[in-house]
Amino acid sequence: MHLSFATSITLVSLAAANPLSNRLAKRAAIDDCLRTANVPVDAPNSNDWRADSNPFNQRLKYTPVAIAVPTTVAQVQAAVSCAAKVNVKVNPKSGGHSYASFGLGGEDGHFVVQLDRMNAVTYDSATEIATVQAGARLGRVATALYNNGKRAFSHGTCPGVGVAGHSLHGGFGFSSHTYGLAVDAIVGATVVLADSSVVETSQTENPHIFWALRGAGSNFGIVTSLKFKTFAAPSQVTVFAINLPWTNASAIVQGWSTIQDWLKAEMPKEMNGRILGNRMQTQIQGLYHGTQAQLRTAIQPLLTKLNAQISQQQQYDWMGAFSYYTYGQQVDVSRPYNLVETFYSKSLVTPALPSNVLQNVANYWIQKAMSNNRNWFIIIDLYGGANSAITKVASNATAYAFRDPNNHLFLYEFYDRVNFGSYPSNGFEFLDGWVKSFTDGLTTDQWGMYINYADPTMNRTMAQDVYYRKNLPKLRALKTELDPTELFYYPQAIQPV
């Protein structure tokens, strides 16, 4: 027998002093509210529940109080209204790829709004704008746009990542040096706010909300769809790799110094790349927007300085190159999406490294990283520089913080995983120490961290600061205006004033 919603709310109030009773009462109350509002949900312990609550990072498993699976904006509004009535924290989950499991709330007892049933992609050839529902994954978006007039926008390489979380908090990929981040392509967004109202946002509609969404979107509401300006996908692009003989600290220092000088002043706009290092090898990997012949001409100055050769090059069409960097994953993927790993990850954004910092980083790489037998890697994205579209965007144009041509040259992902079993309790010090080898030699205004590679070991105060830096005061003021009771909350969410 189902309790009435009013009775359920009364039970929540009576159970407040007992945490277990409170969780059970809240579950009953929100279940009744969602049922009354005709919001579709996952039945607890069903196959859908298990799929939707299974985190990408198996180190961080949390149990939601309920999982809504809306297919319309009205159902999202009703879900948010129920969360407010029951006083339970709510989190949107698009692709579920959060490194910190923030789509599940980052702790037990949150209400999850699973968006991946809302995954339509449409394209208007007159405006060259794509409208993408928030639950679409990057591979589906790339495929749909390419099939509609060979269009594209800049985004990352993993096909299963949800478009909303990725783009609302940055979104770097192998087009970013040429066209900017995914967040820079957003020209409009539909969002359900904490009062369950739905608003349109753009440069002309609710521009203050639009500003905040582009860089910190998970804090202010549930975005149900996004509008992206697109570009014509290049007819020919070239995948390439350059092996780097970084087997000792002096080789790392010399090679890194050469690369950062080239990136600052010379790296062509059409060149997109990263350094990928692990226990087996270190390479520059990239995508040049042009032919193999054009790549060879453009990359030759760097090859000469490094005394290196291109170790791999292959010309593709746009989707061929996208597929290449998926490393065998299905490209056009929706659900179920079952890729999971067990890992710890950190991030950084830094300027060109001073010689003393570079020496410390190189020493750590050789002495500590190379003696770690786990399956770790470091990605050093070639992010900024004189020709980067990312740092040409005005620093105050969006809430995304890292636009300084002088201080934001590299974006880093540090990733340490185990292939079997649990992540070791003494494993965290490895990446913590590596990041410290960078930050000890930099001032706090020279570096930050990237929330798309969230590190849940940081406390809320530090996390807000390093993710949003100078934009944090304005974001906190907007959080106070739009969501003062923190209905949209996770442990590193922006805090109202």
Q: Give, in degrees to the nearest 5, the angle at Cα 164 between 160 and 169.
A: 105
* Residue 154 contacts residue 171 (beta carbons within 8 Å): yes
Q: What average pLDDT does range 331-349 have in this prediction?
A: 91
Q: What mean pLDDT is predicted for residues 259-287?
A: 98
Strand, helix or coil for residue 100: coil
Q: CB of 202 within 8 A of CB of 489?
A: no
Using an 8 Å Cβ cutoff, are 164 and 223 in contact?
yes
Write the DSSP string, 233-250. PPS-EEEEEEEE---SHH
* Euclidean distance between CA atoms 477 and 494, whole angstroms: 10
**Cα(321)–Cα(5) distance, rounded to whole angstroms?**
53
The reported pLDDT for the residue numbered 5 is: 54
When pLDDT is averaged across residues 404-413 and rounded to a whole number, the result is 94
228 - beta bridge partners? 130, 186
**Comparing C-alpha atoms, which of 138, 145, 139, 140 is closest to residue 123?**
145
Confidence bin at 457 (pLDDT 50/70/90): very high
Q: Say whether the peptide bond before residue 70 is cis (omega within 30 degrees of 0).
A: no
Amino acid at 472: L
pLDDT, tens digit, 9 for 90 and up, residues 152-175: 999 999 999 999 999 999 999 999
Q: Is residue 141 predicted with pLDDT exceeding 80?
A: yes
Model confidence at 232: pLDDT above 80 = yes
pTM of the model: 0.95
Please report the pLDDT score of residue 13 as a whole number: 52
The pLDDT of residue 336 is 73
Q: Environment class of residue 87 by beta-carbon count within 10 Å: exposed (0-12), middle (13-18) or buried (19+)? A: middle
pLDDT in tens, 301-314: 999 999 999 999 99
Mean pLDDT, residues 87-113 taken together: 97
Average pLDDT rounded to a whole number, residues 270-279: 98
- Could you report the per-residue pLDDT of 38-90, keeping only the tens digit for each? 999 999 999 999 999 999 999 999 999 999 999 999 999 999 999 999 999 99
Q: What is the pLDDT of residue 2?
A: 55
How high is the pLDDT of residue 6? Answer: 54
Q: Point out the least confidently predicted range of 12-21, 225-234, 292-301, 365-374.
A: 12-21
Average pLDDT for the chain: 95
**Model confidence band, residue 9 (pLDDT cutoffs 50, 70, 90):** low
Q: What pLDDT score was predicted for residue 314? A: 98
Q: Please give the pLDDT value at position 334.
A: 82
The 3-state DSSP class for residue 430 equals helix
Give the position of tokens 């809306």: 70
Indicate if the pLDDT at residue 4 is higher than 60.
Answer: no
Rounded Cα–Cα distance for residues 192 and 70 (Å): 13
- What is the distance between the alpha carbons of residues 80 and 87, in angstroms, rounded to a whole number? 10
Distance from C-alpha of 78 to C-alpha of 217, rounded to nearest angstrom: 20
Residue 404 has pLDDT above 70, yes or no: yes
Given a cut of 80, whether residue 7 has pLDDT beyond it is no
Helix 249-265 vs helix 292-306: crossing angle, to nearest 10: 130
pLDDT tier at 372 (50, 70, 90 boundaries)?
very high
Does the pLDDT at position 19 exceed 90?
Answer: no
How would residue 117 be classed by pLDDT, with cut points 50, 70 and 90?
very high
Over range 424-432, report the average pLDDT.
97
Q: Residue 442 is encoded by which pair of tokens?
A: 């930099």
